[in-house]
Structure 1
Amino acid sequence: MTSAAVLGPPAAPAVRASRLVVDHLRHAVVDLWRQKVVTLFTVVVPLVWLVVMGFVAGNAVVDEAGGVRVMQFVTPGAAAMGVLYASFPTVAISVAEARHTGVLRRLRSTPLPVAAYLTARIGAAVVFAVASVVIMLLVGVLLYDVRLVAGTAAATTVTLVVAMATFAAIGTAVAAWSPTVATAQAASIGGAVALTFVSGLFSFGGSAPAWLVTLGDLLPLKPLTAALQDQMNPFHPEVGWDVTGVVVVAAWTVLAVVAAAAGLRREGVRPTPRTPRAPRTGPAVPTTSTRSVEGDGPAPSATAPMTVVHDTGRPGAARLVRDQVTAGARVTWRDPGALFFAVVMPVALYAFVVALAAGGTGPGGVPTAVVVAAGMVAWGAAVAAFMNLPEAVAVARDAGVLARLAATPTAPWHLLTGRTLAAVGGVLAVEALVLGLGTAAYGLRVTATGVVLGTAVLVLGSLVLAACGFLVASTVHSAKAVGAVALVVLLPLAFFSDVFVVGGPAWMGRVGDVFPLKHLQNALVLAWSPEPAVGWGHLVVLALWGVAAGVVAARRFRWDER
């Protein structure tokens, strides 16, 4: 007697597709949660911006009758920034990784359609975007007495949904056209940072030129921020529907979808395999022999030239260090992300900020071009020496490279010295670019003495920041977390150290006085001023930080992944 299994009707295609999307959505959310860089840019960056703006702008009452405070109009900017960073770089990087690792191609042989995969990935980014908005609003309500406007809830929801779709589509387009994952990462993060500045979320005390205002109006972030500010404005008489802003954002969605579809369509066209090139024909090249022991191997040809090989023995220390300098420089120049934050960002921000300042002066009557140059070069030094260098060494540690040095002529100090010198060389390149740009375009005048003093200060500061970075690497046990932790420390510290904000509240200056970054910036200002001077007090603080951090890092740093 046999029993027959009764099979129900197969699920409808739409049901199967939705089930696949939900299943992969859970996986995508977990995958993004495990990537610390996602949490960093989704929550930490907007939150740091919100808190710093609260410090700088204050939270005074602007309406005594209603109790409305300044942060009522600042918090929407943090929410918009959270949507941008959660939807744009997150989608761009994850989709680019799927492209370049062959995942999108292999999906064609699985039940999961490419469209379902992309939908789930974008949905995971939306989950993080929603979480970021909720966190920004909660912080605003709990810390700054921000009031949510119930009458504009529908308009706010629609605006946020359209914005998330827009930035996710832009991220997909960037991923579809990026030749490498590193390029997608640099383009998305760099584009998000540039969009933040162009859209006016950072104010430097100057009025933006008309062309910059127009450019910001045409890009999606500024209309989003303006719409959210109106929807959270309790004095706004309307219900919050900003039709113009939504149209601008939606137009970017259409353009991004078209670009993404065109780029992803190439995934279905396999490149024609390249035919192996036939070996060259021609006269045979005579072979050489370096063996001198009789009977050991074939005798050399009578017509072949003899090659004498001299045994040079173990490579010298100078050559080993030089090789590591070359390797470190090559790694930096081949990494678009590291290159953007350490070189492109400080140079571009210098041009942007000085153009807005229009030849003003900073504290003590020092030209703004000098103050901003010191801040941007200090930022470049911090990124290169405090963040990128220790992260690269930590990656080598976790990969077992440092442990295997014992079997090579390269000693650990060869590697550390060479990589540190490569980082310092990159910092000096940033100094040359910023000073050169300031001299050529913005009337910056630094004396020869000032250049020499500034270079010496910059070398010392870079070594100190490198020691502090190695201290972080010795404390954090995962190479993936070293860069994230360093950026979490560096970003708020820059606002306290006269890098991004100059002339803030006095207590912020006192906090910055504790740490080395502000002393590096202040010492550079003194060196590059019209009358150069040596900031001995700043140099002493830098030296103390360098010695303390170096000693602790040397005692705690591990040379293997265990």
Structure 2
Amino acid sequence: MTTATTPREPSVASLREPSVASLCAARAGVELRQFFRERTAMVFTFAFPVVLLVLLGSIFDRQIAGLGIPASQLLVAGMIAAGVGSTCFVNLATSITSDREDGTLKRLRGVPMPPVAYFVGKVVLVLVTAAAEVVIVLAVGVGFYDLPLPSDATRWATFTWVFLLGVIGCALLGTAISSIPRSVRAAAPIVNLPFLILQFVSGIFIVPLSALPEPLQQFGAVFPLKWMAQGFRSVFLPDSAASLEAAGTWEHGRIALVLTAWCLGGLALCLTTFRWQGRKDG
């Protein structure tokens, strides 16, 4: 004779809604899996700054007069900034535009998930990809151009805050500009063209900046890319290389001020311009 068993009632813990932190972590996992499954996009993201570095490094292999360092080492520091900017600004803006166009944002807005989880997922994605980008560019710089890695903890601390402020600022700007394109096709020229211009006027490809006309120097100094590149150069280059900067010094205080201002400004732009639906959806 069998004894009937009554089903156990679910516990209070099992009925409890997932926390915001767990939802953010879950969304971050989704973003990372989607990125690494797109092999073509992943390879292009990581290879683009490396290919540029190798091409330009093979052209500008001369020694900087009076400093005793090759121009290729300046390019490595600049390409770290360009890689971070490309990953966090260009790729993020395109990704969010794609999510808006294919209805992903609209669907996520209709599920019981806090909006912050979507943005945390994107931030985790760009942090991971930007960090991987930096490691790859540094490996090429050390292996091909004898870039010396600093042994001073202070320099690595400088690298950390420049990297974090740069990632946050560029990610917020990429999120804000994603509301401008009407489609993914339109996003590529809208996002890539200004970023390409900024690379030239921010000292990524042209150092010293004094080689540029004064108006272009002033224009580039408005945006974060120039200050990211200057900050990374201060980490990996000797102090004598500061003479190549516009002010003749590394200006760490000003770098921190400008990058923080762009983080705050980018946040304000996101809060006022971000759209969950495409223009055609009303």
- Give the secondary structure class of the aligned counterpart of 1:178: coil
> 239, 254, 261: which one pairs with 2:271?
261
1:12 deviates by: 7.9
Distance in 2 between residues matched to 1:24 and 1:107, nearest whole Å: 11
Matches within 5 A, 1:374-393: none
Matches within 5 A, 1:42-121: 42-58=45-61, 60=63, 69-121=70-122
> 8, 11, 16: which one pairs with 2:19?
16
1:145 deviates by: 1.4
1:95 deviates by: 0.7
| TM-score, L = length of structure 1 | 0.43
Give the 3 Å change call, closer, same or farther, for CA 63–2 of structure 1 in structure 2: farther
Distance in 1 between residues matched to 2:179 and 2:16, nearest whole Å: 31
1:233 partnered with 2:241: no
Distance in 2 between residues matched to 1:265 and 1:209, nearest whole Å: 38
1:11 deviates by: 8.9
Q: 8 Å contact 2:61–2:70 — kept in the other structure? A: no
Q: Tell me which amino acid in the other structure corresponds to 1:79.
A: I
Q: Tell me which amino acid in the other structure corresponds to 1:232.
A: F
Q: Tell me which amino acid in the other structure corresponds to 2:137.
A: M
Give the 3 Å change call, closer, same or farther, for CA 51–10 of structure 1 in structure 2: same
* Structure 2: 5+ residue stretches without partners: 243-249
Residue in 1 that maps onto 2:31? 28
Larger Rg: 1
1:97 deviates by: 1.4
1:177 partnered with 2:155: no
Q: Tell me which amino acid in the other structure corresponds to 1:173.
A: A
- Give the secondary structure class of the aligned counterpart of 2:149: coil
Distance in 2 between residues matched to 1:79 and 1:237, nearest whole Å: 17
Q: 8 Å contact 2:100–2:278 — kept in the other structure? A: no
Give the 3 Å change call, closer, same or farther, for CA 10–243 of structure 1 in structure 2: farther
> 195, 199, 208: which one pairs with 2:198?
195
Q: Tell me which amino acid in the other structure corresponds to 1:93.
A: T
Residue in 1 that maps onto 2:212? 208
Q: 8 Å contact 1:63–1:69 — kept in the other structure? A: no
Q: Tell me which amino acid in the other structure corresponds to 1:51.
A: V
Residue in 2 that maps onto 1:249? 259
Give the 3 Å change call, closer, same or farther, for CA 268–45 of structure 1 in structure 2: closer
Matches within 5 A, 1:157-556: 157-203=160-206, 207-235=211-239, 242-264=252-274, 267=277
1:39 deviates by: 3.1
1:234 deviates by: 3.2
Distance in 2 between residues matched to 1:119 and 1:257, nearest whole Å: 13
Q: Tell me which amino acid in the other structure corresponds to 2:169.
A: T
Q: Tell me which amino acid in the other structure corresponds to 1:20.
A: L
1:4 deviates by: 2.6
Q: 8 Å contact 1:216–1:222 — kept in the other structure? A: yes
Q: 8 Å contact 2:75–2:205 — kept in the other structure? A: no
- Percent identical across equivalent pairs? 25
Distance in 2 between residues matched to 1:11 and 1:191, nearest whole Å: 49
Q: Tell me which amino acid in the other structure corresponds to 2:78.
A: G
Q: Tell me which amino acid in the other structure corresponds to 2:6.
A: T
Distance in 1 between residues matched to 2:194 and 2:164, nearest whole Å: 21
Residue in 2 that maps onto 1:126? 127
Residue in 1 that maps onto 2:142? 141
Instruction: Quote the RMSD (CA, aligned, Å).
Output: 3.2
Give the 3 Å change call, closer, same or farther, for CA 170–225 of structure 1 in structure 2: same
Q: Tell me which amino acid in the other structure corresponds to 1:90.
A: N
* Structure 1: 5+ residue stretches without partners: 273-562
Residue in 2 that maps onto 1:530? none
Number of paired residues?
267
Distance in 1 between residues matched to 2:241 and 2:40, nearest whole Å: 42
